[in-house]
Amino acid sequence: MIKPTVGLIVFSESLVREDVYRKRRPIAERETKRFVEALEKDVNILWPRSREIRSKAQALQSIYELHAAGIDAAILYVPIFVAPALVAHTANLLRVPFALACNEAEDSLSQLVFLAAGGAIDQIGLKYLRVPGDAVEKSNYNILMNFLRAAAAKRRLKGQTYGSIGGRSLGISTGTADTALVERIFNVDTEHIDQLEVVQRAEAIEQEKVQRYMDWLKDNLAAIEFNNINFTKKHLEKQIRSYLATKGIVESFELDFAGIKCQPELSNGYCLQCINVALCNNNIDADGPKEPIALSCEADSDGALTMQILKLLTGGKPTSLNDIAWISNREMTLANCGSMAFYFGARSKDYHENMAAIKLVPHTFGKAGGASIQFTVPEGNSMTFARLFRQRTEYTLGVLTGKTVIKDRKQQSATIQVRPLIFANININKRAFLETFGANHIHAVEGNIKSELKALSDMLNINYIDYDVASD
């Protein structure tokens, strides 16, 4: 998971009551130590020079220091009774998401000031998290961590650049972006790049490097099923070249994540981009371990943005774009048009195991030819499925969770036989989903990060729909 950088602001008795401060200081130190010991394993704690805030001057200086240090969020911790106005005044100076936290020790009066300070902050009209009880207690601590992870993802997304390589694909309007809206809400710029850039760069890649990637794939994949028609060595070489070209584009244009149109110009005129998408989203390639580049098929802008958010929240895990091939109240079949990160082959730390579960097979579309990536995500994996979509000029984040299962691939429609598949047991209201979900694509990452996604939606002031139905 993402590890937030958090400014910790601890309040104590004011300078004007030194006698009270001396009496209460042992309690404050005890409770602060307890809180810090719980917190430091999951966050990077940044302290201001004043470890105890006892005056407005100290508060102001601490805010300057923490902002300059680049914190993702702040925690206002009240270990004992302190002046509520000082806490609220400090909160009002913060320019990052913040949480108000307390303890429940009977001798601390922490809850008393928590309520008083929270009320004062509410009167100002600030948006923040009140941790509802002892911040170290597990359920409360989880609420705090979900908030802090969301804040970290929000800050790290700010200032990033999305690269749209090509434009709308196959008439899929939900894949297009309102670039001004993306900039306003997410602080993300959009760079438009022609697909010709991929072709020109691809043809300039040295043959030696292409061969090294070819050998790496042959040595590690379960099979490469060439034919004499639309998937030959030459086709695979072009697919490798496309990936290496895209890596270069990401670097040259200073992109953080991207989408590539592929269909129909590249799929008919150069080669299918399935290897490109798989390797970009993967956590290793022939050059060694790497950070996944969230790359969507069909230049799906909101899809790529969703994938980048999932990647950030999970600390850099591979993500995927999937077509919703079939869905019911309890089951879902997802089938990308031909690509998914190799990581999902076995979800192992050992990339050999992941790649050993994968075949490259001739694709069923694309006049230019190339491979599709064939495998089924293994059973027993808890996953989060999410998608940003728009209704007029408002964003909604739709989320559900599920656990992967195995089904007979041969029983699926011929259209998706050659594709990477996810079969998942879910528990949703299908009617509500079909009435409101605003896209044909949904995006997956391992683990359950629904709470972090809800917290992030609240911070971004966008709508959130939890499609999961509580079990009876």
Task: Tell me the mean pLDDT in the region 285-304.
Answer: 98
Residue 113 has pLDDT above 80, yes or no: yes
**What average pLDDT does the structure give for the chain?**
96
pLDDT of residue 163: 98
For residue 222, give the amino acid letter.
Answer: A
The pLDDT of 266-273, averaged and rounded, is 98
Other Cβ atoms less than 10 A from the Cβ of 392: the count is 4
Q: Parse the chain into domains and list their residue ranges.
A: 5-157, 162-466
| Nearest partner of 250 among 188, 162, 169, judged by Cα | 162
- β-pair type (129-134, 73-77): unpaired
CA dist., res. 442 & res. 306, Å (int)? 9
Question: pLDDT tens, 366-388?
Answer: 999 999 999 999 999 999 999 99
Query: Which of 280, 394, 399, 386 lies closest to 342, judged by CA?
Result: 280
Query: For residue 472, is pLDDT > 70?
Result: no
d(CA 336, CA 398): 19
Q: Is the pLDDT of residue 471 over 80?
A: no
d(CA 21, CA 39): 25
| pLDDT value of position 411 | 83
Confidence of residue 244 (pLDDT cuts 50, 70, 90): very high
Residue type, 216: W
Domain formed by 162-466, architecture: Alpha-Beta Barrel (3.20)
Per-residue exposure over 83-93, b if at least 16 CB sit within 10 Å of its own CB, e if not: bbebbbbbbee
pTM of the shown model: 0.96
- Residue 334 pLDDT greater than 70, yes or no: yes
pLDDT at position 339 is 95
pLDDT tens string 405-450: 999 888 888 778 899 999 999 999 999 999 999 999 999 999 999 9
Antiparallel, parallel or unpaired: β 394-405 and 359-362: unpaired
Average pLDDT over residues 206-233: 98
Q: 43-56: per-residue pLDDT in tens?
A: 999 999 999 999 99
Whole-number Å distance between alpha carbons of 389 and 457: 12
As a whole number, mean pLDDT of residues 13-25 equals 88
- Cis peptide preceding 4, ω within 30 of 0: no
The pLDDT, as a whole number, for residue 139 is 98
- Residue 196 Cα distances to 165, 187, 201, 203, 368, angstroms: 9, 28, 8, 11, 15
Q: Which CATH architecture has domain 5-157?
A: 3-Layer(aba) Sandwich (3.40)
